[in-house]
Chain A
Amino acid sequence: MVIYFLVAFACGGGILLLRNKRVTLVLRCAFIVNQLWITLYAFLHPGTEDALYFSFDSIGIILATVLTILSIATFYHSYLYLNRHPTSVKNESIYYASLILLITAMTGAYFTNHMGVLWAWLEATTLSVSVLIYHDRTATSLEATWKYVFICSIGISIAFIGILFLSIVATKGGLTDLYLPGLMAAAKGMDTTWLKSAFILLFTGFSA
């Protein structure tokens, strides 16, 4: 996962800083290869843990496979869209860098096995999607961006309260961290009032 994140951030950062059409195309292709590689790696190593906060569980592998297929289609469609609606090289670079950050953050969220890290990746998706929505820089895109950013920020805050509630249940269950396998193993003995409250808050917050 560390190599995947390093390559992804290098591709995104390179696109953002170099702002050259040819280099952007090469880095986009490099990112797609990187995305295919991590999906294949996860598929070949199911159930293994990686880089302290990540594990390749079945749901994560299925979701990452769907994301990878959609990512290739999205990059192709973006290429066609930006050719039909030409924009400045700067805006195009910002668009592709944000798209790469979004796909990387979603991959990180799918494979993480820690609630705190999951929350941080979702925060990153909010940031990257806000830049993508604002791409056209029109009054309507600004309105959409403002509404998206504000609702998501409130949602992320509510989810954070849910994580705090979950930490109360975890502490009562003798856990000292928020790793998902530990939480699932201790779930049967947990206080249901706190657990249900945490679920409602997490569900509301993350679905916003």
Chain B
Amino acid sequence: MIFFFIILFAISLIYLALTERVARFITLLIIQGILLAGIAYWHLKHIDAIHLSFILLETLVVKSIGIPVFLNYLRKRNRLNRLNESKVPTFVSILILSAGLVFGFLLSNYLQDTHIETIFFAVAISSVIAGLFFIISHRNVFTHLIGYLVIQNGIFLMSLSVGAEMPMLINNAILLDLFISVLVLGIFINKVGDTFQNLTVDGLSQLKH
């Protein structure tokens, strides 16, 4: 079951390159949140109930409900529907994201260690690469936030692969990071939208002159 969820998570990373609709990006984040909750449950069901509930709450309530609701609010407020602003053609994006997945598997195979779960680690590395690529290849600040959240999901998966010894400490840190970053970035996305009338980075280049 756990491998099924991880493979679905990896597929969701490839799907990132295929879509241009903002609502789909948000749906994808909801799906990733649910998949992470499933992975966390199957992987950590041996730990005590309070810690497990906290981690499930984090993935289901924060990642699958809270953040998508906030992103939807940002989408509606800034009237974002379709973002056809990728600097890289879709086919090339799919190739790069697939190469990221292969690289993740090769790296985790090379680093094979008894203290890490290889398949978790491979998909986590791929997710971080996919998030970084997503940020670099898009010109819209909203998609930058989506890319950042994909990186965060990758970090959560990585924490599951390595941090079984201190899950509460790691998950508290991830939660703190998510709250601060998403709220602050979200507030500034609204201000960028109000000041520059659109959310492309083209407007954010006055400091270069």
Contact = CB atoms under 8 A, between A and B. Distances in A.
- The judgment on whether A and B are partners is yes
Contacts of B42: none
Interface stretch (B22-30, B33-41, B61-69, B165-173): B165-173
B207 A154 contact: no
Interface string A130-165: 100000000110111111011001101100110011
A160 B155 contact: yes
Interface in A188-202: 193-194
B180 interface: yes
Given A127-B180, A153-B181, A157-B148, A140 B206 contact: yes
Interface stretch (B81-89, B90-98, B185-193): B185-193
Interface string B158-179: 1100110110011001101100
Interface residues of A, number: 33
A116 interface: yes
B177 A176 contact: no
Given A116-B169, A123-B176, A130-B184, A157 B151 contact: yes
Determine the main DSSP class of B at the interface with A: helix
A160 B172 CA distance: 12
A164 B148 contact: no
B155 A142 contact: no
Contacts of A167: 162-163, 165-166, 170
Interface of B: 111, 113, 115-116, 128, 132, 135, 141, 144, 148, 151-152, 155, 158-159, 162-163, 165-166, 169-170, 173-174, 176-177, 180-181, 184-185, 188, 191-192, 195-196, 203-207
Closest 10 CB pairs of A and B: A153-B181, A143-B204, A168-B162, A146-B188, A164-B162, A171-B115, A168-B115, A139-B195, A140-B206, A157-B151
Given A142-B192, A156-B177, A171-B162, 8 more contacts: A116-B169, A127-B180, A149-B185, A150-B144, A157-B148, A164-B155, A167-B165, A168-B113
